[in-house]
Amino acid sequence: MQMKYFLLITIAIFCTAMFPASDGASQEPNWVIYNTTNSDLPQNYILSMGIDNKNNKWLGTLTGLVKFDGKKWIVYDKKSKKDIQYSTVRSIVIDSEDKLWTGTWGDGMAQLVFPDGNPDNPNAAYKWIYYRNNNSAMPHNTVKTVCVDNDGNKWIGTEDGMVSMVNAGWGVGGLKWKAYYKYNSGLPHDAVYSIVVDEFNNKWIGTFGGGLAKYDGLNWTVYDIRNSPLPDNFIITMVMDKKQTVWMGTYSGGLASYDGTKWNVYKTSNSDIPDNVVYAMAVDEQNNLWIGTLQGLARFDGAKWTKYDLMNSGKPYTVSSIVIDKYNNKWIGTGEGLAVFNETGIKK
């Protein structure tokens, strides 16, 4: 098990291909690449992303959080009384109130807060509110995913357990926590890497070792390699599409989907998926699935696969995160920078 954790981190960081440095004028009209050589992006490894209500892009990197409004790059580091310290931002979620929450690699969950109430000011004061295992019910300080359900409650998946955080209406700081482990619930494994919510507020929980679990608030249903067509019990990422089909990206078994009745499995052996290691997914307005793998990016419309060669480089590259903005631009996080793509030309 420890070897799988080590390999997952090592592959993600070191197996990406180099992007050629270029400026916007020389790039194709449907591709733009941002990295430290041609922009103010402070760090090239983009682990996670989110888009707020004003279409600002929030990027989680190996060394903190970055905001990009289309023109300016603003870095939000973790600050202490001594030297500047950094947090690896593994996941980002923006709730219905446009509040930003991050899951970090070893530093718990954090909310970014602007005391003066003006986050659009690039010089605005800010602070982090941290939830760790020494000041909350957080079971582990390595947070793999943060999900907001239909009632606004947070569901946090960590390396060692899952926890729900509910605003109990007790005023500032009035929170109700509940922790879920394999020993005290139907959770099949304590390492929770991905959580999505369907239209009925069911939680679909992807574990790294125990397969998939569905939790309706009372009952648990587990799907693993023994009782279902799920190809791999190690689930890295998940997404819910517009037809309420759950898509699961796995560590070595490719891509799986489940619509409540039927399973489908897509591997390199039976489809044109670029690789069987799937790190990221997103769904566009036409319900196309965009898949980021160890060896590149693909789109799947349910019947046809389309692979994309970033900037016609001819080299494989690892895609670690994908988000799609309101103009249908795909923002693609990699180990060597941020790519923006739109089949019909990038729109602003």
d(CA 205, CA 156): 10
Residue indicated by tokens 């926590």: 177
297: in domain: no
How many Cβ atoms are within 10 Å of 91's Cβ, its own excluded? 26
pLDDT band at 200 (very low <50, low <70, confident <90, very high): very high
284: in domain: no
How many folded domains does the chain comprise?
Answer: 1
Q: What is the pLDDT of residues 111-143, one digit of tens each?
A: 999 888 788 888 888 888 899 999 899 999 999
pLDDT band at 78 (very low <50, low <70, confident <90, very high): low
User: How confident is the model over 227-241, as a mean pLDDT?
Assistant: 98
Residue 105 belongs to what domain range? 44-141
Q: Which pLDDT score, from 0 to 100, does residue 132 have?
A: 93
54: in domain: yes
State the average pLDDT for the chain: 88
72: in domain: yes
Beta-carbon-side half-sphere exposure of residue 194 (alpha carbons within 13 Å): 28
236: in domain: no
Residue 81 confidence (pLDDT) above 60: no
Q: What is the pLDDT of residues 292-326, one digit of tens each?
A: 999 999 999 999 999 997 766 677 789 999 999 99
> Would you say 189 and 181 are in contact if contact means Cβ atoms under 8 Å apart?
no
Q: Which pLDDT score, from 0 to 100, does residue 154 have?
A: 95
Token pair listed for 190: 């304590």
Kindly state the greatest CA–CA separation across the chain: 57
Exposed/middle/buried for residue 329 (C-beta within 10 Å: 0-12, 13-18, 19+): buried
**DSSP letters for 324-335:** E-TT-PEEEEET
60: in domain: yes
3-state class of 101 per DSSP?
A: strand
Query: Cβ contacts of residue 258 below 8 Å, gap of 6+?
Result: 212, 223, 228, 245, 246, 248
50: in domain: yes
21: in domain: no
3-state class of 10 per DSSP?
A: helix
Task: Specify the pTM.
Answer: 0.89
